Amino acid sequence: MPTPTPDAPPRRDKTRYLYLAVIVAVALGIAVGFLFPGFAKGLKPLGDGFVNLIKMMISPIIFCTIVIGVGSVAKAAKVGKIGLMALVYFIAMSTFALAIGLIVGNLLHPGTGLHLNPGDVKKAHDSATGSAGPVEFALGIIPKTFVSAFTEGQVLQTLLVALLVGFALQKLGPKGAPILRGIEHIQRLVFRILAMIMWAAPVGAFGAIAAVVGATGLNALKSLAVIMIGFYLTCLVFVFGILGLVLWAGARVNILKLLNYLRREFLLILSTSSSESALPRLIAKMEHLGVGKSVVGITVPTGYSFNLDGTAIYLTMATLFIASAQDQPLSIGSQIVLLLFMIIASKGAAGVSGSGIAVLASGLQSHRPELVNGVGFILGIDRFMSEARALTNFAGNAVATVLIGNWTKEFDRDQAERVFAGEEPFDEATMLDEHEPVKSEPEGEKVPA
């Protein structure tokens, strides 16, 4: 009994210092960016290096989490039920995000009256490379080799391999239990490595923010303030209005409590502009909150590729801005067709910083090529908008995980209440959950160890 008492507070104190350091680093980065813009631009590799370290851990974490979640469920039908329910929910919420973005964009009319000339802006040629069609997209999910899914960093490829391994362990039955336990030990090692990497977060945040501010300056923010502020407000309305209402109606969980529980992940995303940097922590925290491993293992990685609420809003408002700024406004019908294409094209790009620009340019190139040069107008603030994009995507996936867990009876409400009340704090040192999982239906029985 004396052991846990002295150990727990120091662990939490250390991580608090870490995230306070991130806040200070962000403030210093902004100051350096304004005072020494030339020097600040050269700090970009610091931010890129930190994000690359995080990305290095994504594939092994997704693999271990999905294999453990799927492999420990006795009936494969349950996995299919969770996946189908998640996809239906993702499509519904993407539609809501698309609708609210269209409504706000048509009310604000961002870009109207600017009369901008695309010839004055550098063409977004590199970003406008053609997007893959549905056949190429489907074939791209299949990795070249069994291990290339891990080396190429493709989330959907890793998801496919992990599902195959999980189902294979199901078929092995009790004989697969030792393999499952081995993967659980690997997961512990992976999360420990990730916890070590997180101590580089202040350096990465400092470099990323300084480079962005140094490159864009204050003028870019002033000239595009309307669309940026409008986009942020739209994301807030979506998160607290739509997502908050759906979460309370579907699971009786307060959105403010959930977002407060994930506040450190939001800070991490804010400093890196990439929701992918917080993916491993979201998996760990959702399990600690009381959502079943099978639900977390399927819903979170799938949501990162298919549940792109923030991206949907961004594509809507950015498209309307570019069209209006060049005095070529789109009809409602054209808006819906173009944006539906962009939502499909954006699948799998949620966690990549700057991916929104590529999807935006490719969509315009395929449907309205005369507008594609206008992407250059928004390049200056895309990094700042990508933060709200990533934060909204992350909040949407957290809400989806709780909802799917509740609907499939894989959500321990008592555990969630204890976590929200601070009675069972998340272990920042190991990022592993040790609480007793919720008892589910007979179909969710686990393979005997």
Report whether pLDDT(247) > 90: yes
- What is the tens place of the pLDDT at every residue in 344-378? 655 544 444 445 666 676 666 666 766 766 666 66
Highest average pLDDT, of 331-335, 361-365, 380-384, 438-442, comes from: 331-335
Report whether pLDDT(340) > 60: yes
**Residue 88: CB partners within 8 Å, gap ≥ 6?**
none
**pLDDT score recorded for residue 447:** 42
- Which residue segments constitute the domains of the chain, with CATH numbers given? 8-424 (1.10.3860.10)
Report whether pLDDT(179) > 70: yes
Distances (CA, A) of 268 to 265, 275, 387: 5, 8, 10
**pLDDT score recorded for residue 417:** 92
At residue 426, the 3 state secondary structure works out as coil
Nearest to 212 by CA among 49, 29, 50: 29
- What is the tens place of the pLDDT at every residue in 250-284? 999 999 999 999 988 888 888 766 777 788 889 88
Write the DSSP assignment of 362-377 as a string of letters: HHHHHH-GGGGGGHHH
Distance, in Å, from the CA atom of 254 to the CA atom of 259, rounded to the nearest integer, reads 9
**pLDDT score recorded for residue 280:** 83
- What is the tens place of the pLDDT at every residue in 4-51? 444 444 444 465 677 678 778 878 888 888 888 888 888 888 877 877
**pLDDT score recorded for residue 124:** 41
Task: Give how far the C-alpha of residue 124 lies from the chain's centroid of Cα atoms, to the nearest Å.
Answer: 25
Between 375-407 and 355-367, two packed helices, what is the crossing angle to 10 degrees?
A: 110
**pLDDT score recorded for residue 3:** 45
Point out the least confidently predicted range of 77-91, 260-274, 305-319, 329-343. 329-343
Distance, in Å, from the CA atom of 375 to the CA atom of 367, rounded to the nearest integer, reads 14
Is 62 or 246 the better-scoring residue by pLDDT?
Answer: 246
Count of CB atoms within 10 A of residue 227's CB? Answer: 25
Highest average pLDDT, of 86-90, 378-382, 410-414, comes from: 410-414
User: pTM of the prediction?
Assistant: 0.65
Is 290 or 332 the better-scoring residue by pLDDT?
Answer: 290
Distances (CA, A) of 84 to 80, 221, 245: 6, 42, 22
Element (DSSP H or E) covering residue 330: none
Highest average pLDDT, of 90-94, 189-193, 271-275, 406-410, comes from: 406-410
